[in-house]
Each structure stands twice: as C-alpha cells, then as structure tokens.
Structure 1
Amino acid sequence: MSNTAYMVNGFDVSTVDALDPHLQEIVKRRSRLLGPAYKLFYANPVQFVRSEGVHLYDAQGNAYLDVYNNVPSVGHAHPHVTAAITRQAQTLNTHTRYAAEPILDYAERLLATHTEGLGNVMFTCTGSEAVDLALRITRFQTGGTGIVVTSNAYHGLTSAVAEISPTMGPSVPLGPYVRTVPPPDPYRTDGRDVGEAFAEGVAAAIADLERHGIRFAGFIADTLFSTDGILPDPAGFLKPVVDIVHRAGGLYIADEVQPGFARTGDAMWGYQRHGILPDLVVMGKPMGNGMPIAGVVARPEILADFGTKIRYFNTFGGNSVSIAAAAAVLDVIEDEKLLDNSRTVGQYLREGVGDLAEDHPRMGAVRGAGLYVAADFIRPDTGAPDGDLALAVVNGLRERRVLISATGAQGSILKIRPPLPFTRAHVDTFIEALSDVLATVEIP
C-alpha cells in the first residue's frame, strides 16, 4: 500500500526513483529518519527554503503562489508578527503559572471578538490539544461520553480526537461512543431544507447512542465543513442543530480552526456567520500565524465546576512568545482590514472560479465563504465525484507554481484557501493558471 492511503494529494513513495536526484535524496532521507507516517504533498514534491506574503520560494528562487495554506493566516513571515516574536523571545518566555499581563491583555482582545456569553479562554499549543480539552470539558459537564460528528470530519490527531475524525480512514477506527451523520450538503437533500435535514440526522445519531446505552455528551463541527467538502450555505442552517443538541442535554462545540480569524469574510468566526452561540469554541493554527498556540473559548458557567475540580495545565500553552505572536496577528487583521479583504477578494475569487466552471462541463458546483472556496469535479456521464481529475488539476497547478489541494470524501473538490492578504491580482494569477490547466490536463 502506498503512503497516499487516506491522504488526498499525498506523494506516492513508490515513485521516488523518478524524482530529480537531489529531491530523491531528500525524500529517501526523510523516510529513513522520520519514518513512513510523514507524508509529502504532490506527485512531484517541492522543497521550499523561504517565504514572504502569499508566496513560497524554492531553492532556485522560484516563487510559488500559495492558494492553500491557512496556518500563516496573515501571510508568510509577516514583519509585524516576526518582530513581535523576536522581541518577546529576547525578553521572556515562560509558562502561565507566573502572573503576567500580556496573556490577559490578549485574552481580553480575543474574547471581545467572540459573541457575548463566551467569557473564558484556555490556551493550548495545537488545535488537536484544544479539541481534546473541549471533549474533556464536555464529558465532565454532561456526564456523557457520546459524540456526534459528520461523516468525513477531521478534528485532530491525539488519540481521543482521532477517534472522532472519520477522515483518518479505516486504520484509525472511530470510538464506540461516536456516531456520524451525513454532512449538510444542499445538493443531496432532495429539495428539503438543508438545516432541517441535517438536524434530523443529528437527532437520529443521538437517539442511536442512547439506544445503545451511551449517554450523549456533545456535537462538534467545523462550521465550514472543510473536509466534508466545504459547505457554507445557507448561512444559519446550524440553528436547529444547536436546539437539538441542547434539548438532548449535550454541548455544542464549534471547531473554528479553519473558519475562524476572519476566514469567511462575513464575521470573525464561522459560528457567528450562522447566528448561533456555541457552548465551546475551538481555535488553532491561524491564531499565531504558525507559532504553537491554540485554545478553547467557553461560556464561564461551563468552566466553573470543571476549573475547580479538574487540574489542567499545559506547560507551553499560552507561553509568552506565542501570546506575542497571537496579539500581533490580531493587530494585522485589524490594521490591514483583512476581514473586509476576505469578503471582497473572496467574492472576486468565487466569481472567477465560477466563470471557469461555466466553460468546463466536468466542473460542478462552485461555493464558498470569504477566502475559502470549493469547486467540485464530476463525471459528466454519471455526475459522480471525480477525484482523479481533481488530483490531476492540483498537480497541474503545482507544475505551474501554484499551490492548492483537494478535499471531500472522494478527494474530488478543489480546496482553495489562500492567506488572508490575497489580492485581486493574486486571484487573476490563480485563475489564469487554473484556466491553463483545465485546457491542457489529461482527463483520467
């Protein structure tokens, strides 16, 4: 079995001997030193040596347009963020068991971006840790263990979180207390209201847990349903799900690792776009532009008992340098008006991809929110998802020095997710490259 198993756009190590000799040596060295679990992107992997803004640069100095990475949310090596990291690293870096004001200043700013009612924040190093903590809080608060997720969800890599991440594949089995529901896909509800159909699925999953003697604890979803195919519309369809979760005695967890920090253009957080108030909100990768900082925002009444009875400490979570990075990210989002940019440039991006789809019958629906856009590839004879064509397009773009990937259960959906400072000029470059690939790609 190749190392592409259960990873969309993964490099197949069996083809390593076809690579450029220098890259071939790097790949073999990776395998020898890091083991087989580490995966590379693309049929022809690429080595990067530096980055700036929305570009990555290879060892020959070639610039690659980044239309994929959300971790450097305000752009690669942003000077304001790197300066803040440097200053703090030269001054103090310690944990949260000493009294310090910067973490409190940042917590106040961060909580002010969330909806009223969410008043506490706990810091971790990674999104996986944050989800793990959210699960602990949820189970403590409810006394239950049962969790409901969507059928191709991804929430992280710890043992507990991998068990609620179906997209990890059959070699990572779901926990016995986990139930899955079909994603809220308006194209597969037979004309029914997507919110009602989705809520009914959640209710059925909760009933199945209880029928098997498993007390329901909570529901968790990425509010853009990124690995399920990027399903943002219609805004507001999550409201009935919140009601069902609460009526069943559970907590609603909003996973904002991908939708958060101005990504959708409509609001700072994806859940706000739906007009809901979660019980817990999980944040991750974009928080520190790549520095190890993540967290859980909660309604204070949920943490009141947990915080007094459960000893929780994360040595590196909320460390001084990561807090400085996170504060600088908020500065950039505000000062450079990146929420507005995500909305306006995102609309321009969707229109550009949509125009291409009209001329290419194997491109299906185009959808998105802000700077997060999806484009389906389908087989015109059956309408079935076409993962082979999507992957061919992804690799064709890579050869034109444009970075992108795919998502969805069959890997048939282009995942278009650039850093937030993306401009209309960058969109034009991407659309030109995508048009060229669509005109020349060999259709599998």
Structure 2
Amino acid sequence: MASDQRGKAETLALRRQFIGSSCRLFFPGDPVKIIRGQGQYLYDEQGAEYLDCINNVAHVGHCHPLVVQAAHEQNQVLNTNSRYLHDHIVDYARKLSETLPEPLCVFYFLNSGSEANDLALRLARQYTGHQDVVVLDHAYHGHLSSLIDISPYKFRNLDGQKEWVHVAPLPDTYRGLYREDHPNPTEAYASDVERVINSARERGRKMAALFVESLPSVGGQIIPPKGYFPRVAEHIRRAGGVFVADEIQVGFGRVGEHFWAFQLQGEDFVPDIVTMGKPIGNGHPLACVATTQAVARAFEATGVEYFNTFGGSPVSCAVGLAVLEVLEKEQLQAHAAHVGSTLMGLLEQQKGKHPIIGDVRGAGLFIGVDLIKDEATRKPATEEANYLVSRMKENYILLSTDGPGQNILKFKPPMCFSFEDAHQVVAVLDAVLTEMEAILRSCATLRAKPQPALQESCL
C-alpha cells in the first residue's frame, strides 16, 4: 500500500514496530502525519493545512521549486563524490565566502551540523595543540559522541561531564545570573567565562576552543548581550584557544539584520571557525565548516587526508547555490527583519494582556516567548506551555517548546513566513491563552472548593 493511502494509526503502529523509541515524534500523544509541504505550510493525510512555525530546516520554504529543480537537474547529469574536479563546489565556496568576513575563506563540506561541529573540534585541537573545550550551560552541538561530550543539554542525562569540558553560565538576561537590571551583563557573563578558563588552567588544563551557539536555541531562544562574543573571544584566545560560532540553527539571514547571527555582536567580530547546517540545504543533507587559512594549514600539516563521501557533491552544491539564489532573489533576509519585527510587536502586545507571558525576545524570525507561573519567581510554566502547544496544533498551527524548563515557545518558521501568518498565529495564541486562563481560574476554584465536574478541565 502506498504510504499516502495508509491510515495514520497503521503508520504509527509500523513506526512503533520498526523505529527506535528514542526517535521521538512531535506531539507524541496525537502525532501529525505529514505527507506534503509547500512554502510555510504542511499538509496531513486528510489534506488539512498546518502553518509551520518551527521548521528552520526548510529555510526558504518547503519544497521550494528552484531548490527542487536544482537538485533534480543535477541528479540527471552527475552525482558523485568531491574528489573529482567540478565547478559547483568552487562556485558554492566562493559564493559563501562573499557572505562572511574576509578571514573566513577556507571551506569544508559535510552532510550534517553534527559532522560540522565534530570537524570544528578536530580543527581547533590540531591548530592549538590543546584538548579542552569551554561550552555554555544547556548547549547542544550535535548527536555524535564527540558532541554529546560538549553538550550539557545531553551529557547531564548520560555519562556526565568529562574532565576536558568546562561549562560557563548561559548569558541569559531574563532568568540567568545577571538579568536585565544588571549594570553590565556583558562584562559579568564574560568574566564568568574568564573564571572558568582560569580555574581550568590552574589545574593544568589547556584550552582548544570555546564553542558557542550564536543564538542558543535549546537553551531557551537566548539573545546574548551585545559585545559578549568579542569579550569571551579575547579570553579564550589569550588562553591559546579559538572561538567557534555554531550557526547551525540561526544562520543564512534568519536574524534579519545580518546574514550571520554572530554579526549581531558587532560587525568587526570574526570567529575563528563557523559551522553551518540545517537551513544551508533547505532539507537536503548539507553542512559546512568555514575557517581561516591559518587553521586550515595546521589541519593539513598532519598529512592526514580529509575526505567526506557525500560532502560537497555536485547535487549538494547545486542545492546550496539554489538556496543562496532564493535568499537573494526573494530578499528573505530583509523579509525576516520586517516580519520578525511585526511578530515581536504583536507578541509584546500579548505580554501586556496575558500575565503568563514573562518575556518576548528574538531577532528576525528567531523568537522566544517565555511562559511563567508568576512574575516574582519567573518559575517556568512547563505544563501550561505543553498544553498551549497542543491546543495550537488543534488549531492547525505547529509550535514547539525549548529551554531547560521546556516553557519557551520557539518561533523559527520558514523564511517565507508572512505578515498575514504573523497576525494569524498571534490571534490564535490570544484565543488559546484566554481559554487557558479561564481553565486555570476554574482549577483554582476546584482546589478551593472541589467540584468533580471541573476536574477533567484542569491542566
């Protein structure tokens, strides 16, 4: 039976039979079966249309015709590994270089963001001759063993922290150590990184790299205070290490104001290594590491060849070029700035209306809405966030949560997300929050004076 003719229940049963249970679905209580996508929309087996607010992989839109055409046409001619001379890989590298600061001029192509960060770790260690890595708390850099080790989001639930990994506080000015009322959160958070480095060095450890997501996503859609990157880069470089900017979630114009999120920290700031994935190929398995000549030369000095079977293939590079073409032709970076500003403004209005919204933060089409139990403690409203996401899905809007408390609504839609979409999402969000507040009032009444008829309506 063709998959689009199979009922959702049968598909779910087959998945449970053959797919590892750790490969989790969105909306596990009532998963959505998606069989088609177009632009910012996804369609289920019944033809219902869902507005996708979270898919930053389909960067320029699901099944964008130019990207699909580029892959199809190149697939008909040649798809082989990158050890043959071919124009696409050099054209693509040159085009990417035009988006980056001049020192970042050497490229390695791979298949996934995890592979990119793994290679960045190798490059850093070879260049510095050191082993140790500094990361931010709650960071996630990939699913390879080497990256689980530098991802507190993962290793805290597994084997724990390795002796060569050093964790600095997440620069969260809403619920972190230094908040919006601090006179200089940039310097305070940067000084914490310096202390972590100095403490490690006192124990004889030597720094290879500081890995930072340019905008921490799993950590809760965090916007680091401006100037933080240049300051922590000074500290890691003084210790003999390099600065790695992980752009896998947020690169390629998503932040609107700039093409790369690290540029929000100041146009003069240049990382030593930048990693890319997810949006780079609009769903095609493509990733990249960009670095300096000095770092690349040190890597080459080992005499060990770097080879990636599928990285930089003619089809992958054709897709990458097409994504860049669409971004430019449809002016999606500017679009992200304008639509994102509108969405942020509408969400700020909701913050004034609904006390559960503690904070709205973001840049371009990377936005987080922090849901709280109460304003004084800022306790994460985890259950309420899960309920809200479920109700939004019932209204054909796909959202998800992130953050240590799983209470941050995250908005990372395809870049073609429109002004109309922004208004639609916020209108539904307002209605669901209003409904939810009524339920919470009923629950408060139930706790004060038990009424069995209300029991099932409580969150």
Partner of 2:140: 154
Aligned residue for 2:368?
374
AA at the equivalent of 2:253? A
TM-score, L = length of structure 1: 0.93
Which residue in 2 is equivalent to 1:422? 417
Q: Which runs of 5+ in 1 are unaligned?
A: 1-20
Shift of 1:234: 3.6
What is the distance in 2 between the residues matched to 1:63 and 1:197?
46
Residue in structure 2 matched with residue 195 of structure 1 by the alignment: 186
1:403-442 maps to which residues of 2 (within 5 A)? 403-441=398-436, 442=439
Amino acid at match of 1:23: K
| Contact 2:369/2:408 (8 A) holds in 1 | yes
Cα distance change on mapping 1:174 and 1:32 into 2, 3 Å: farther
Aligned counterparts, 1:356-375, within 5 A:
356-375=350-369
The alignment partner of 1:116 has SS state of: coil
SS of the equivalent of 2:275 reads: strand
Q: Deviations over 1:4-25 (max 9, x none)?
A: xxxxxxxxxxxxxxxxx94343
TM-score (norm: length of structure 2):
0.90
Residue of structure 2 aligned with 1:132, choices 110, 114, 118: 118
Cα offset, 1:233, TM superposition? 4.8
Does residue 256 (structure 1) correspond to residue 247 (structure 2)? The answer is: yes
Map residues 86-101 of structure 1 onto 2, 5 A cutoff: 86-101=72-87
Aligned to 1:46: 32
Instruction: Return the match for 1:284 from 270, 277, 282.
Output: 277
**Distance in 2 (alpha carbons) for counterparts of 1:292 and 1:225:** 22
Cα pair distance change 1:432/1:92, threshold 3 Å:
same
Residue of structure 2 equivalent to 1:295: 288
- In structure 2, distance between residues paired with 1:395 and 1:350: 22
Computed over aligned residues only, the root mean square deviation of the Cα atoms, in angstroms, reads 1.4
Where does 1:39-438 land on structure 2 (aligned, <5 Å)? 39-42=24-27, 43-168=29-154, 169-187=156-174, 188=176, 189=178, 191-275=182-266, 276-309=269-302, 310-380=304-374, 382-438=377-433
Quote the offset at 1:85 in angstroms: 0.5
Q: Residue 58 of structure 2 contacts residue 282 of structure 2 at CA under 8 Å; is this kept in 1?
A: yes
Kept after mapping to 1: 8 A contact 2:40/2:417: yes
Do the aligned residues in 1 keep the contact of 2:128 with 2:240 (CA within 8 Å)?
yes
In 2: Cα distance, 1:149 partner to 1:233 partner:
14
Aligned length, in residue pairs: 424
Q: Residue type matched to 1:373 in 2?
A: I
**Residues 123 and 317 of structure 1 are in contact (CA less than 8 Å); yes or no, is this contact kept in structure 2?**
yes
Who wins on radius of gyration, i.e. which is larger? Answer: 2
Deviation at 1:433, TM superposition (A): 1.3
What corresponds to 2:451 in structure 1? none
SS in 1 for 2:216: coil
Between stretches 229-238 and 178-187, larger displacement belongs to 229-238
SS of the residue 2:32 aligns to: coil
Stretch of structure 1 that moved more, 187-196 or 219-228: 187-196
Structure 2: gaps spanning 5 or more residues:
1-5, 441-458
User: How far 1:396 moved relative to its partner?
Assistant: 1.1
Displacement, 1:72?
Answer: 0.5
List structure 1 runs of 4+ shifted beyond 4 angstroms.
none
